[in-house]
Amino acid sequence: MRSIPFLFALLALSMAPAPALAGAGSFVLVNGTSSSLSDLAIRRYGTDEWRALAVAPAAGARGPVEFYDPDCAFDIRARVGGGETAVWSGVNLCETKTVTLRRNDSGATWVDYD
């Protein structure tokens, strides 16, 4: 009889929602610019340490990025076709499957998510 309250408590705990774990995981990077991208690198937002990414999709192409980090906000940097450097700042990589890097002719950058 003593085990019945314990079983009810165990059942109640097993039905409680588990906390979501934050953090960035692998994603697909899409080059949504009209130029090729090279020398891609990533850093935690607000830091100075860039880490190279092993992907460099041509204009309109995509590539997988193996990436794991406990944070969510990142900057992505790339050298764009003509040698200019572009930075996409504050990219949210938590619960993101696909990140499309966009850049217009005046150099403004933004990201689309899927």
Going from the N-terminus, what domains does the chain have, and what CATH number goes with each? 21-113 (2.60.40.2890)
The pTM (predicted TM-score) of the whole model is: 0.78
Of 91 and 4, which is predicted with more confidence? 91
Q: Which residues pair with 97 in a beta bridge?
A: none
Amino acid of residue 95: E
CA 18 to CA 107: how far, in whole Å?
Answer: 43
DSSP element (H, E) containing 5: helix 3-15
Q: What is the DSSP letter of 58?
A: P
Strand order across the beta sheet in which 98-103 lies: 62-65, 27-31, 98-103, 109-113
Is the pLDDT confidence value at 16 over 60? no
Q: What is the DSSP letter of 97?
A: S
Provide the pLDDT confidence category of residue 21 given band limits of 50, 70 and 90. low
Amino acid of residue 22: A
CA 47 to CA 52: how far, in whole Å?
Answer: 15
What's the average model confidence in pLDDT over 68-87?
93
Is the pLDDT confidence value at 22 over 80? no
